[in-house]
A = this chain, B = another copy of it.
Amino acid sequence: MTLSVSVADFARLIDGQVVRSSPVAITGVADPETAQADQATFFLERLPTPTGAGLVITQTKQDCPGTAAHITVAQPRVAFAYALAHFHPEPIKRPPVGIHPQALVHPTATIHPTACLGAGSYVGAGTTIGAETVLFPGVYLGDSVTVGRGCLLYPQVVVLDRGVLGDRVILHPGVVIGGDGFGFTSTPQGQLKVPQVGRVVLEDDVEIGANSTVDRATLRETRIGRGSKLDNLVMIGHNVQMGQDCLVVSQSGIGGSTKLGDRIIVAAQSGIASMTHIEIGADSVIYGRAGVHKSFPSGSQIAGFPAQDRLRERRQQVSLTKVPELLKEMRELQKRVQDLEQAQGIPRTPQA
């Protein structure tokens, strides 16, 4: 297998130091528990464990099992990512370059000759697709959509009209880009729809997980900044402006018109309320299941519902666990005060 590498080449691949070499050719990466003599294994969060791996990679030098080769590397998780990428250049097999005869491409669309369009993919009028971009079978691109270079659009992805995708954007199956924002206004005849005439822009290196949705803006654009990564079943409301390198974990929802700075982490199942033009400053962390109703400055640690500073929230949570005891103490103290009052002849009625 041409992907197999010597221990020395493996060290070069991950920018590590060979502590102990061996003549074994490494053909892949595996968990410590299952790794074989021709496989490398990484000790990441876990403590060192017995392993049959032929090569062990750790952050600091340590006793390694048997005759296994040993490499140290400053950042094992980064090294792990590089090693996996070497051995698995295409974890999901792509359709071949070119336009499948059962793809449907509008004559005014512009498709780069190195792009791949799978069977049953659909490309609307005036849409442009860049070099080496892949549309798996069943992808739908509306009219006037722009897709950059090196994008991966998995089956059943939908990008409606005017959507803009930068380079190397990855959309997992079932992602919907550019549905109508949820805009209605009450009238005596019921809810009147506010047309949503804007678009969605996904900058370079954005990745969005399966069945997530990003609504298009009312007037201008909903924008996800360069390098931001969204997990599955995430909801991004209309007009949201998200900065660069954010992480939004699964089932979180960012309400319409929210502004998020760069490098924000939104943990799972959180929500930010819409319509109040909330702004969250850069480098903030929103903890899991938080419900955010107001703006926070850069570097905030945000938790709870209604969300507040995380330390304060934690202190409050801890105090709440003491309430049952507090109730008992109150009963007791009331009794003691009553005793004191009686001793002094104060004719107070006892508490109910």
Contacts and interface: CB of A to CB of B under 8 A. Distances in A.
Interface of A: 29-31, 34, 75, 77-78, 80-81, 84-85, 87-88, 91-93, 102, 104, 118-120, 122, 124-125, 136-138, 140, 142-143, 154-156, 158, 160-161, 170, 172-174, 176, 179-180, 182, 184-185, 187, 190-197, 205, 207, 209-213, 215, 218-220, 226-227, 229, 231-233, 235, 237, 244-245, 247, 249-251, 253, 255, 268-269, 271, 273-274, 288-289, 291, 305-306, 315-317, 319-324, 326-327, 329-330, 332-334, 336-337, 339-341, 343-344, 346, 348, 351
Given A122-B155, A211-B211, 14 more contacts: A31-B220, A81-B185, A93-B143, A120-B120, A138-B138, A172-B180, A174-B174, A180-B207, A182-B229, A182-B231, A182-B232, A182-B249, A233-B235, A340-B344
A239 B322 CA distance: 37
Contacts of A348: 336
A227 to B, nearest CB: 4
Query: Chain A contact residues: over half helix, strand or loop, or mixed?
Result: loop
Given A81-B192, A250-B235, A336-B341, A305 B289 contact: yes
B211 A78 contact: no
A330 B218 CA distance: 52
A251 B253 contact: yes
Contact of A122 (B119, B173, B343): B119
20 contacts: A30-B219, A75-B185, A81-B195, A91-B195, A119-B122, A122-B155, A182-B231, A182-B250, A184-B229, A190-B226, A190-B244, A191-B245, A211-B233, A233-B233, A235-B250, A269-B271, A289-B291, A329-B330, A337-B337, A339-B346
